């Protein structure tokens, strides 16, 4: 959770990694402040099964110059944490980061 929180403008309301944790933090006003904007990060296990992690309100600094593609170097801590904690539907740990892109709610109109 700490690796994700470090790259997000959103505030974690609660999470569990053993015991429930309820941090009382304040969100920031930044380029992607809304949780409707998110970075979708794709991972795979050794067998090729894939899973996603969605990072709400991602910091602009995690994207390449196009503003859409996630820079793997910028999320190295998330990748490392995922490879030790995230499992796919086949119950295998993810081993590979395949890529990530910015997604979001389309504006009205």
Q: What pLDDT score does 108 carry?
A: 46
pTM of the predicted structure, to 2 decimals: 0.76
- Tell me the CA distances in angstroms from 14 to 19, 39, 61, 98, one per residue in order: 10, 20, 25, 28
| Total residue length of the chain | 109
Query: Please, what is the Cα angle at 21 between 76 and 24, to 5 degrees?
Result: 90
Reference 4, options 46, 28, 40; nearest CA is 40
Q: What pLDDT score does 81 carry?
A: 93
Distance of CA 39 to the CA centre of its chain: 6
Reference 35, options 75, 15, 8; nearest CA is 8
Tell me the domain boundaries of the chain: 2-104
Per-residue pLDDT of the chain in tens (109 residues, 90 and over written 9) = 778 877 887 776 666 566 555 555 555 566 555 567 899 999 999 999 999 999 988 999 999 999 999 999 999 999 999 999 999 999 999 999 999 999 986 554 4
């Amino acid at each position: 959770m700490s690796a994700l929180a470090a790259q997000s403008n959103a505030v974690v309301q609660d999470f569990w990694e053993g015991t429930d944790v309820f941090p009382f933090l304040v969100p920031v006003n930044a380029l992607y402040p809304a949780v409707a904007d998110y970075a979708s990060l794709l991972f795979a296990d050794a067998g090729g099964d894939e899973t996603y992690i969605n990072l709400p309100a991602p910091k602009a600094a995690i994207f390449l110059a196009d503003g859409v593609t996630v820079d793997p170097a910028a999320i190295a801590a998330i990748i490392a944490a995922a490879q030790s904690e995230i499992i796919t539907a086949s119950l295998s740990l993810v081993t590979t980061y395949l890529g990530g892109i910015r997604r979001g709610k389309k504006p009205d109109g």
